[in-house]
Structure 1
Amino acid sequence: MSGELAKETWAAERLRAPWRGFRLGLLAFPAMALSVLLITSFSLVTSVVGILMVPPVVLLARALVDVYRDLIGKWTGVRIERPYLPEPQEEEAGFAGQWNRFVRLSSDPATWRDLAWLLADPIVVFFTAALPFYLVAYGLWGLALAGGMGSVITDLGGNEWYGFVHIQKGYADDNAKMTATVVLGTVFMAAGFLSGPRLLQVYGRWGQLLLGPTEKSRLALRVRHLTETRSEAVDASAAELRRIERDLHDGAQARLVAMGMTLGAIEHLLDRDPAKARLLLAETRQSSAKALHELRDLVRGIHPPVLADRGIGDAVKALALDHPLQVEVVSTLPGRPQPPVESAAYFAVSEILTNAAKHSGASRVWIDLRYEEGMLRITVTDDGHGGASLEGGTGLRGIERRIGTFDGVLALNSPPGGPTIVTLELPCELSSPKISPS
């Protein structure tokens, strides 16, 4: 179920379901109009007009179907991915570009599935998602009849049936018919409210069946995603290598070169000026200690020893101990992820904690690590002023790219005034603690 649905009570879910179904039913009107327009466009493909008309109409239909996907995801908990084949980075100009665009869109199986949806949904939605609304409305009409509307109808000479109850002259004085109308109206309303969530779920599965990706489009989208994430992984690795080379050149390497020169000077001063030689030896010893410290920091930045020895849970706890804010860590991992996933998760948490210290204005941070449904799920919450964003090339965008290499996702919730909640999910398998990699 989606987050919106999870927050609803049993009663609220049933009260809202009929209204949501009615709103989905209203989409049937633009759906019917677009289906007619789409069929008309394809019927004109023998002329230039049809070739020019089809692409914009298809894109308009996709925009409407995206609304369906969004509402179905929010109201039924059934998440439907966009199934369309990837579009080229650049389109050709002129008629050749228009022709290629027409061919690409018309050869995409999702285009025809969208058309089938637009044609069939006005009927399907009436018998699924929208039906509870009409049951409730019919029940209210029955209560209105029993409350006096029945007398108005009969006084005006009308003749009406409500279910199996015949509304006629003298209806208002017939207690049996009045009672039957009230009972029948109540039954219709109860049926509408009680069946609403269930019929919304049925409608969600119908949407997933027709609006979800085909195997062809799923494979194409997967290939595109892997191409992008692997390219980003290569770029990140190259940047990391450049950083290591720069740190070695500017830090430990420079100190080691200076130490070599100093040792050469000491060799010449041993006989002539032993006191000066001893002073240079002391400086060299201090330089060697600093070089060793820089090398350890460099190694810790590549793969911290505590991460290799103790795993992601204890490594994050070690980060918390050295952090300027008050950080509380809860880890309930039953095992250890693969080392690359652990490393990506560790540095992602480290970056989030750094951002919290620099920008959030927070005083406390809570970190929760758990493993659920094949996912390493990490939630970092701070009590800062909020307003964090993934836009503008921020550090969070870099984290998203880092974990994207492992098909991970990052979710951010940071309203103005706080709190900021960053959730990371990385698919992985856990090894037994007894055989965790060392």
Structure 2
Amino acid sequence: MTIDTKSGNGRTKGRGVVLAAMRGLGVALVSLPGAVLCFTLSLVSMALIPIGIGLVTTPYVLQGVRAFANWRRDLAAKWGGVRIPQAYRPLPKDANPWSRTFGMLRDPATWRDLRWLPVDMTAGFLTALLPAALWLFPLEGFALAAGLWRILDGADGYWYGFVRVHDQTSAFGAAALALVVLFFAHFLTFRLLDVHHRLTQAVLGSNQRELAERVRVLTETRRDAVDTSAAELRRIERDLHDGAQARLVAVGMDLGTIEALLDKDPAKAKELIAQARRSSVEALSELRELVRGIHPPVLAERGLGDAVRALALRLPVATEVNVDLPGRAEAPVESAAYFAVSEVLTNAVKHSGADRIWVDLHHTDGHLRVTVTDDGKGGAVIEAGSGLAGVERRLGTFDGVLAVGSPAGGPTMVTMEIPCALS
């Protein structure tokens, strides 16, 4: 029973090795023309972009390249246990040809695919074909030993590897070499296919170190966002308790006093009514300011551009706002951008000594970009505990970035960028 089991396992392993070699052969025979075709069509289509034809054809060609690359990812996972995650950026379903073409060309994953194609048609082809070659090459040696050498023998004999076959004895030497190659094929097939899949992963896969660093940064910014949200809730609670709530309690007490004085001292009651009215107006004003600090109504109703314009109108410094936004971002992105701009403008008014401020909002390359420039004294820096550090944390929550250029003597330019799509 033991001998039979081992023999069965050996046969199973042998069939598995041969199957792996045939899979490599299949990949090599299909991938070489596929990679050549995808690479050629990509180059031709992108070359035709300046005359307009490529704007129509490039998205379809690149979609085909992605499908070909994804097929190879599936094979690497299924046959080699090597997982190569996809990292393509999503594209709007209603994007026009221009946006779709350049949206795909700006995606780093697209260029990884295009870099992989030449590698796949050369080194990838060889590493996929070699396991099958190691199994097919010995068949020729055995055929020579069986008498094929008589047909192939010429004036100088027939070379099988480094063995010159010119008689039956040398033909047996070719068979011996075939056995050696077959021995190595049995042990090298899986390793060579693993090299092929690892090569595909190295070129086609994204940078794992870069992804790990990105995850670390996003984790920190999410934690900062949670802390900021908790602090914001405490601030709202404190403002309500110390402001509007206290005034409304005072109004209630005044109304109770008025009720007691209406018959005894109408003049005093009238005075208290006026006081209660003033308190109610102040409480309403504080509530409106609090609501504006949480989410300005104009931001929800009119969008980021008009909200920033309204913000600029309340500043004591002349402010010019230029907006070029063909649509609206998602509400959380708009809110983050609005409060970031608000903080930067507040800093400019308080610390820069500027006479004029310029604000520019536009959307390009899939990013919302806001630039705030003032003609003040400069010297602004991002340091712990500063308003700009808070802006950087707020933007980091959405994978955004903050850049500050503020030489001594000015001017100061603060640029904020958040990746997003506009509706």
Q: TM-score, normalised by structure 1?
A: 0.49
**Which residue is 1:5 aligned to?**
none
CA gap 1:387/1:266 in 2 versus in 1, 3 angstroms? same
Give how far 1:222 is off.
2.8
Residue 330 (structure 2) pairs with residue 351 (structure 1): no
Structure 2 distance, partners of 1:394, 1:270, is: 54
Give how far 1:211 is off.
12
How does 1:162-241 map onto structure 2 within 5 Å?
Answer: 214-241=206-233
Give how far 1:212 is off.
12
Structure 1 distance, partners of 2:393, 2:324, is: 26
Comparing 316-325 with 216-225, which one deviates more in the overlay? 216-225
Residue 329 (structure 2) pairs with residue 329 (structure 1): no
In the alignment, structure 1 segments of 5+ residues that lack a partner are 1-77, 81-208, 432-438
Instruction: Output one character per residue of 1:257-294: Cα deviation in whole Å (capped at 9) or x when no partner.
Output: 11111111112112222222122111111111111111
Give how far 1:254 is off.
0.2
Instruction: Output one character per residue of 1:117-150: Cα deviation in whole Å (capped at 9) or x when no partner.
Output: xxxxxxxxxxxxxxxxxxxxxxxxxxxxxxxxxx
Structure 2 distance, partners of 1:410, 1:321, is: 24
Which secondary structure state, in structure 2, belongs to the residue aligned with residue 257 of structure 1? helix
Instruction: Output one character per residue of 1:82-130: Cα deviation in whole Å (capped at 9) or x when no partner.
Output: xxxxxxxxxxxxxxxxxxxxxxxxxxxxxxxxxxxxxxxxxxxxxxxxx
**Which residue is 1:428 aligned to?**
420
Q: TM-score, normalised by structure 2?
A: 0.51
**Which residue is 1:364 aligned to?**
356
- Alignment partner of 2:262 out of 270, 274, 277: 270
Residue 370 (structure 2) pairs with residue 378 (structure 1): yes
- Alignment partner of 1:259 out of 239, 251, 254: 251
Residue 234 (structure 2) pairs with residue 242 (structure 1): yes
**Which residue is 2:406 aligned to?**
414
- Alignment partner of 2:304 out of 280, 303, 312: 312
Quick check: 2:244–2:284 contact (8 Å CA) kept in 1?
Answer: yes
Greater C-alpha radius of gyration: 2
Letter of the structure 2 residue corresponding to residue 247 of structure 1: D
CA gap 1:288/1:387 in 2 versus in 1, 3 angstroms? same
Structure 2 distance, partners of 1:280, 1:269, is: 10
Residue 393 (structure 2) pairs with residue 401 (structure 1): yes
Structure 2 distance, partners of 1:429, 1:232, is: 24
How does 1:79-94 map onto structure 2 within 5 Å?
Answer: none
Structure 1 distance, partners of 2:204, 2:220, is: 22
Give how far 1:359 is off.
1.1
Give how far 1:227 is off.
1.4
Letter of the structure 2 residue corresponding to residue 397 of structure 1: A
Quick check: 2:354–2:376 contact (8 Å CA) kept in 1?
Answer: yes
CA gap 1:264/1:348 in 2 versus in 1, 3 angstroms? same
Which secondary structure state, in structure 1, belongs to the residue aligned with residue 263 of structure 2? helix
How does 1:15-26 map onto structure 2 within 5 Å?
Answer: none
Across the two proteins, how many residue pairs are aligned to each other? Answer: 225
Which secondary structure state, in structure 2, belongs to the residue aligned with residue 412 of structure 1? strand
Give how far 1:247 is off.
0.6
CA gap 1:213/1:412 in 2 versus in 1, 3 angstroms? farther
Letter of the structure 2 residue corresponding to residue 234 of structure 1: V
Instruction: Output one character per residue of 1:385-421: Cα deviation in whole Å (capped at 9) or x when no partner.
Output: 2111112432111100011101000011111121111
Residue 279 (structure 2) pairs with residue 287 (structure 1): yes
In the alignment, structure 2 segments of 5+ residues that lack a partner are 1-105, 109-200
Quick check: 2:218–2:396 contact (8 Å CA) kept in 1?
Answer: no
Considering Cα pairs closer than 8 Å and 6+ residues apart, tell me whether 1 or 2 has the greater RCO: 1
Structure 1 distance, partners of 2:354, 2:204, is: 41
Quick check: 2:405–2:412 contact (8 Å CA) kept in 1?
Answer: yes
Letter of the structure 1 residue corresponding to residue 403 of structure 2: A
Work out the percentage of aligned pairs sharing the same amino acid.
68
Quick check: 2:405–2:413 contact (8 Å CA) kept in 1?
Answer: yes
